[in-house]
Amino acid sequence: MSRSTRAAGRRSAPRASRSKPRSHRTRTTSKAIGLTLLSALLPGSGLIMGGRKKLGWFVLTISVGLLLIAGFVALTQRDSVLELAVSPRQLLIATAAVVLLGVGWIWVVVASHKLLRPVTMTYTGRLAGSLFVGLLCFAIAVPTTVAAQTVMAQRDLVGSVFQSEKDSKSATRPKVDKKDPWASTPRLNLLLLGADDGAGRKGIRTDTVIVASIDTKTGNTALISLSRNWMRMPFPADSPLAKEYPDGYWNPDLGNVEQPEFYLDSMYENVPRDHPGILGATDNEGADVVKLAAGAALGLDIDYYMQVNLAGFRKIIDALGGITVNVSYKVPIGGDYGSGPGTRGSKKPSGYIQPGPNQKLDGYHALWFARGRYGLSDPSRQERQRCTIHALVNSVNPATLVTKYQQIAAAGKELLRTDIPQEILPAFIELGLKVKGASVTNVDLDKKKNFPSGKNPDYEAMQELVQKAITPKTKSVASTPSTTTTKPTTGTTTTRKPVKPKATPGEAQNLNDACAYDPTQTGMN
């Protein structure tokens, strides 16, 4: 065979070669950018279109699966979500998961773009593609970082304010079933304390003492305010404090006169000072003292307390964007009579919150709306405090929580001190959701009859009023209100402006009515 023939045969024989994968790259930069966007919205799709089908389908399956699981859990496993939200350990795991998912998402976007972009690109096209991918990564990184920071803020808040039962001590906290805390608790009685500690103050006085009695099935809540100047506060018969003060918290040697150092607002500091350790192991003896006394005075078993620091209160109102209240009379900002415990010298108010309906108050003015008392009566102050709580509950909404949660959590660390254990926080959150949509009433303890002064309140009479207010009412057929019009001599019809319903002494009054705008009020009664 000639050399030419052999050469021709070699040229005609098929050459064995490795099969090349089919190219999935786009021909234009704009198309690559569009497909990269699709890969960000549907993680894994870009890998599939770029030829990495096995990896792409794996990522896509994981992405869709996580979305379905998240939706299922959110809709059907609310208890599990609540448990996660108040468990420091699970919140730490959730933070790591959020960061990992964010990093994985960014990797999928970058890898997809590399597979989809044209092989040959102009400098402008390469720059445009890089900028777009950078923007996508930034758009993923920002919410991922915010989410991680929010989860960590929640973990910090829970860990700072709420201690586990084994890591905290309380002389008055009840023992409950962690799985169903309200199984044998038809009403939860929560003591709300407003402490005046802060710059320029010596010691701590609980100027605000309110008991919230909550129906654990319906969320209906009765708020009961105790006057700061009550004397002779009783203690339960089985408490060691009852032996120290058999006739209530006062000093008989001083006679039947006003005794500021034996007022209710002095107990938090004075009793632990005079009888340290009398109640046993506790993290907050002052709060336990007030819990026992308030419960004995009202005929209730107080379960837990929440102590509010006034500086933190101001911050949390600002974090929520303010609260809306009705101001029926001018309320002083500051001012001091110059006498009594905690005084800093005689001083006129620096200003006033002027009357008006639906006023939006920031933290500073909301604090003085609740605290201001110069020239006003104690009952009017108590009513404003209840209205402030009512407005605060109504002001919380999902949008505010999502956008300002880190600020709220930071303020909450300064705001709260409590003996509520971590283990029952999910049940408390569930109950809080009921309270937000339920009826909130004020229990009028009839000041004129039962405590015209603070020297010798009639606690037995007040206990009867409290029991009457919190006892479930039997349903009755509601009557249809009649409407009447007044026709003057001119023949025209006139209608009267709605008047704020007046509370009958000793009766419960809905806070929507109690906090309505009423320009006839003076704040003196």
Domain-embedded: residue 4? no
Residue 402: pLDDT over 80 = no
Pair (396, 436) in one structural domain: yes
Same domain, 282 and 430: yes
Same domain membership, residue 217 and residue 157: no
475-489 pLDDT per residue, tens: 544 444 444 333 433
How many independent structural domains does the chain possess? 2
Average pLDDT of the chain is: 82
- Asked if residue 506 is part of any domain, the answer here is no
CB 287 within 8 A of CB 268: yes
Residues 152 and 224 in one domain: no
Highest mean pLDDT out of 115-129, 369-383, 449-463? 449-463
Is 363 in the same domain as 459? yes
Q: What is the pLDDT of residues 151-209, one digit of tens each?
A: 888 888 788 888 888 889 999 999 988 888 998 899 999 999 987 654 444 557 788 89
Does residue 371 share a domain with residue 267? yes
d(CA 423, CA 392): 25
Does 284 lie in the same domain as 418?
yes
Clarify whether residues 363 and 445 are in a common domain: yes
Q: Is 475 a domain residue? A: no
> Do residues 511 and 390 touch, judged by C-beta distance below 8 A?
yes
Q: Report the CATH number that the domain containing residue 325 is assigned in CATH.
A: 3.40.630.190
Q: For 66-82, what is the mean pLDDT?
A: 81
Residues 271 and 381 in one domain: yes
Edge-first strand order for the sheet with 304-309 is 416-418, 304-309, 187-195, 206-215, 221-226, 440-443, 508-510
What pLDDT, on a 0 to 100 scale, did the predictor assign at position 25? 62
Q: Is 443 within the bounds of a domain?
A: yes
Over residues 60-69, the mean pLDDT reads 91
Residue 20 lies in a domain: no
Alpha-helical segments (H) within 356-495: 363-371, 378-395, 398-415, 425-436, 447-450, 459-470
Note down the domain range covering 94.
Answer: 29-161
Determine the Cα–Cα distance for residues 435 and 428; give it in Å rounded to an integer: 10
> What tokens does 300 get?
């209730």
119-128, 426-435, 463-472, 489-498: the lowest-pLDDT one: 489-498
Q: 228 and 118 in one domain?
A: no
Cross-strand pairs, 306: 192, 418
Residue 369 placed within a domain: yes
> Is 269 domain-assigned?
yes
Whether residue 156 sits in one domain with residue 204: no
What predicted TM-score, i.e. pTM, was given to this entire model?
0.72
- Domain for residue 24, yes or no? no
